[in-house]
Structure 1
Amino acid sequence: MRIRVEQAVRASAELGEGPTWDPATGRVIWVDILNSRVHTYEPGGGHRTVLATEQHVGAAKPRAGGGLVVNLRDGVGSYGTGGTFTWLHREPVPGRRGNDAAVAPDGALWAGSMPYDETPGGGNLIRVAPDGAVTEVLDDVTISNGTGWSPDGTRMYYVDTPTGRIDVFDVDGEQVRNRRELATVEDGAGSPDGLTVDADGCVWVALWDGGAIRRYTPSGTLDRAVRLPVSRPTACAFGGPDLTDLYVTSARVGLDRPEPLAGSLLVLPGIGQGVAQAAFGG
């Protein structure tokens, strides 16, 4: 299979993250964390928008009723269709910010955090239910990153980047249990960052400082690796009308030398089959 890697949006994001396909609008949503920007891109017509947030924004996801839910420095908030902002859960912690987030099949937002200085154990992972109830799922997290669910909803995959692992949990209603290792990225291959799960139940993960996307089977076997023209890919998600195109965000922060496409949104057309993602129900 010939794999193409294309530039979807030429950008200079400091820390691009969290691509998400919004089927209601036919667009990709992604963020530039350190520049406090939420970007959208419509592949069909090339239309783009940029929303400036008041704080660093770790993730932005569509809401079922329109607008966006965002994981900010001080907590989780939402933008209505008219642009009005409302806090859903505000818990400022000095030196900490929101990072990657994902919406579960039941419409709840699972939002991670991390300390700016990457102090071990300084972050967490919370669940924000559609009714606004907040539960801390994990503490003692350093850099909360990729989160995703198997197509049947019985497994949750998760990355705390410094561990070098993709972990898997069993899902029991609103709870997760039985945490264990799915796969470990070997030394020198980069660090696992954002992830997505395809229709076969395989996990695609971006490798920060590894310049690649990898696909692991549900048993943890590495069965595909794709080199990218950026050394710091951050996350990936399937999009397009048929959910067969893989969109990849990237970063240029901290690079030792210039990379022409660093900070851009990339796309790998027709590389696999994704699964439709739920919108936040709140």
Structure 2
Amino acid sequence: MIRHEVAVRAGAALGEGPTWDPAAGRLLWVDILGMRVHTYDPATGRRTVRTTEQHVGAAKPRAGGGLVLNLRDGVGLLDPDDTFRWLHRDPVPGRRANDAAVAPDGSLWAGTMRYDEAPGGGTLSRLTGAGTVWTAPDPVTVGNGTGWSPDGRLMYHVDSPTRRVDVFDHDADGIRGRRTLAVIEEGAGYPDGLTVDADGCVWVALWDGGAVRRYTPDGRLDRVIPLPAPRTTACAFGGPGLTDLYITTAREGLASPGPLSGSLLVVPDAGHGLPQPAFAG
């Protein structure tokens, strides 16, 4: 029987981006509109909250310690001593950071979107630790969940308004060969954040769907986990064995948020995740 637990009872406006940090043995997640980076240690229950000066779409561990932050005006680096510096600053009025993910080669793939969600107003960009930036040429509205197959040869990506989970061929030169892995049907919500497990299956959180779905590598829906929060935003495996599925949720835009909207949820022993690389910068 599938069961969820409340890892952190919180009132995040827009919880997003859960990421397991194996070096610290803790989960990172953000409240985008609340401008907060959260950590949670499931072994001790210890939590920390750091406030940022801008809306923060994602926070990921760095190989040398500290964090890389996808912020409203670009991507920044937070050193272990809390020193902040910009890796790539590119402010665009009306645009903010959204989800981001670290590729097997240690690069960061960062999404953006306009606050008004204007079609084509977002981007999907790859940033190296040296600050080199490559931006995908295809139009993006809400650059969202991104993940890679176990062998790193496929990249999955969500542009939420399309209702699709797309898949690309991926190598050191970038991405190409875009095609559709799965389409979320009308009435089931919109695809948001995603993660890939050790079997190569893609887990997708459904905004306005109150669920996480798992799709096989050939696009077949083989599992649905209903959750007590309609705006599920992203998911990631964590814990010492990468078997627990952590799920972020949001209160933003809900006329009557439920008691767990904005909390961090967890489904113990949901599957087997892949180790997530740290940002090489």
TM range (shorter): over 0.9
> For 1:151-179, what per-residue CA distance to the aligned partner results, in whole angstroms no more than 9, with x for missing partners?
00000000000000000000132310000
Matched-pair contact (CA < 8 Å) for 1:158–1:166: yes
Decide which moves more: 214-223 or 139-148.
139-148
Aligned equivalents of 1:18, 1:41: Cα separation in 2: 13
Mapping 1:208-247, distance limit 5 Å = 208-247=207-246
The amino acid that maps onto 2:117 is E
Aligned equivalents of 1:210, 1:134: Cα separation in 2: 34
Aligned equivalents of 1:94, 1:257: Cα separation in 2: 31
Aligned equivalents of 1:143, 1:62: Cα separation in 2: 23
Aligned equivalents of 1:138, 1:173: Cα separation in 2: 17
Tell me what 2:61 maps to.
62
Tell me what 2:128 maps to.
129
Matched-pair contact (CA < 8 Å) for 1:123–1:139: no
Tell me what 2:155 maps to.
156
Is 1:147 the equivalent of 2:143? no
Tell me what 1:268 maps to.
267
Mapping 1:25-44, distance limit 5 Å = 25-44=24-43
Matched-pair contact (CA < 8 Å) for 1:157–1:166: yes
Is 1:9 the equivalent of 2:8? yes
Matched-pair contact (CA < 8 Å) for 1:18–1:236: yes
Matched-pair contact (CA < 8 Å) for 1:126–1:138: no
Decide which moves more: 251-260 or 216-225.
251-260
Mapping 1:172-211, distance limit 5 Å = 172-211=171-210
* Structure 1 residue 219: Cα displacement: 0.3
Is 1:19 the equivalent of 2:18? yes
Mapping 1:45-124, distance limit 5 Å = 45-124=44-123
> For 1:111-148, what per-residue CA distance to the aligned partner results, in whole angstroms no more than 9, with x for missing partners?
00000000000000111112221111244210000000
Aligned equivalents of 1:82, 1:73: Cα separation in 2: 22
TM, length-normalised to structure 1: 0.99
Tell me what 1:279 maps to.
278
Runs of 4 or more consecutive aligned structure 1 residues displaced over 2 Å after TM superposition: none
The amino acid that maps onto 2:74 is G
Tell me what 1:257 maps to.
256
Aligned equivalents of 1:218, 1:207: Cα separation in 2: 18
Q: Percent identity?
A: 69
What residue ranges of structure 2 are gaps of 5+ in the alignment?
A: none
SS in 2 for 1:123: coil
C-alpha RMSD of matched pairs (Å): 0.7
What residue ranges of structure 1 are gaps of 5+ in the alignment?
A: none
SS in 2 for 1:162: helix
Matched-pair contact (CA < 8 Å) for 1:59–1:70: yes
Decide which moves more: 166-175 or 54-63.
166-175
SS in 2 for 1:210: coil
* Structure 1 residue 257: Cα displacement: 1.5
Aligned equivalents of 1:45, 1:260: Cα separation in 2: 24
Matched-pair contact (CA < 8 Å) for 2:144–2:160: yes
The amino acid that maps onto 2:24 is T
SS in 2 for 1:78: strand
Decide which moves more: 185-194 or 251-260.
251-260
